[in-house]
Homo-oligomer: A and B are copies of this chain.
Amino acid sequence: MTAPPPVPGTGPDGLSASAGPPGPPGPRTGHHTRFDAYVDRYATRTRGMTASEIRALFSVASRPEVVSLAGGMPSLSGLPLDAVAATVRDLVATRGATALQYGSGQGEPGLRQQICDVMAIEGVDGHPDDVVVTVGSQQGLDLVTRIFCDPGDVVVCEAPSYVGALGVFRAYECEVVHVEMDGQGLIPEALRQALARLAEIGRRVKFCYTVPTYHNPAGVTLTAARRAEVLAICADYDVLVIEDNPYGLLGFAGEPPRPLRADEGGRVVYLGSFSKTFAPGLRVGWVLAPHAVREKLVLAQESSTLCPPAFSQAVVSAYLADHDWRGQVKQFCELYRERRDAMLEALTEQLPTGARWTRPDGGFYVWLTLPAGLDAKAMLPRAVTARVAYVPGTAFYADGFGSRCLRLSYCHPTPERIREGVRRLAAVVERERELRETFGAGAGPPHLETGYESPTPDLT
């Protein structure tokens, strides 16, 4: 047997560079040195897998002199670490042989019961059999998309939408259609129009992905009346709803909003997480799904990881059982409310006319729209030079919109640092505005500025 004749190895980008690092993998490509020697081997889906704007920021924003209003890291300073340490020690000493062993692909039954107890606080009546534990709710999103979406399927999302969800949809080669929001969340009539248009052109909508409560990044909450409308519209068009609810218990006033899943069990797939109510480093989230869907999710989980980490699950389970976790969540809420207040006050005091922003009732984020003509992405290097970081709005759109907007997080820095960060940001915005007034509208690059009205419940 002899090898087949070598095939000329030009990648899908049609380029083959004449110089680059050594080491293409084998004789066939030896005469074609490329920057990425594997470029002609990757799956088509990798074309949608690109570094997010958040990712590139992390290294810059982590410098201590920069006030990062970019990341969504929860504040863990309030956690009773000594008490958690004792819980975890006892867990390993008394039940280590189980907690360190392989577990079930669906997740531990005891934890799944506790998860149902957690969801019951918000009015969701779920059964432990219908819960699948995931590696954070990000993996829940990955598995849900894996079982529902073929390449080219349409997913309907809010405008803007969670950057991690957009990454998943790109990786599964979905087409994202954004639907406009305002200060009361997703606009039902805009959803209906989008679904009607997609139906008219024969496009298959696999689901509507939504963060109805304390939206990331928009900082708004879908009103109760609109929740009923959104469910009715999705029923009319027979579209599933993926309800992502990591912040539901982190509200600043009154009872938590009632999830969509509380009123519709057959159409809504619910994603939950302990990353914001306990600790993200454990990566414990979950999916509550109709029973048949749950079976597919378990198979997907087994294929993806065999089973989610048994040890993380045991830690969460012991924490929920042994600690006043609801008291701890209340403490988190007070902490985040104080920080939200600091941010909103500073924005009101510092930001120039023409800027507007949302006023979140919970969660981690404020969505800021810059004065007309400014570009948040173009401004970012100057902001970082001025020692403040944020995430440019374009990261939260699949279609290039959002250039005038940015996301500010108040979850991690102290109120004092938040005020300092907003002061720095305001100075940068002011300079940008002056530049623009001096040099005119032609100073910046052209960008997509219309198409969605940014969610802004209160103009300042």
Contact = CB atoms under 8 A, between A and B. Distances in A.
Interface stretch (A92-100, A118-126, A389-397, A428-436): A92-100
A139 B41 contact: no
A55 interface: yes
Nearest to A42: B147
A282 B299 contact: no
A29 interface: yes
A29 B238 contact: yes
A27 B236 contact: yes
A102 B72 CA distance: 9
A43 B311 contact: no
A79 B51 contact: no
Contacts of A346: none
A318 to B, nearest CB: 12
Interface string A161-194: 0001001101100000000000000000100110
A291 to B, nearest CB: 8
As for how many copies of this chain the complex holds, the number is 2
B49 A296 contact: yes
Contact of A76 (B23, B97, B103, B142): B97
18 contacts: A23-B265, A26-B234, A38-B292, A46-B299, A76-B96, A81-B96, A100-B281, A102-B280, A135-B135, A138-B306, A142-B303, A164-B302, A167-B303, A170-B303, A281-B310, A283-B305, A283-B307, A283-B309
6 A-B pairs with the lowest CB-CB distances in the bound complex, closest first: A281-B310, A89-B89, A100-B279, A85-B92, A4-B199, A28-B238
Interface of A: 1-4, 6, 21, 23-29, 35-39, 41-46, 49-52, 55, 58, 73-74, 76-77, 79, 81-82, 84-86, 88-93, 96-105, 135-136, 138-139, 142, 146-150, 153, 164, 167-168, 170-171, 189, 192-193, 196, 199-200, 206, 234-238, 240, 265-267, 275, 279-283, 290-293, 296, 299-300, 302-312, 314-315
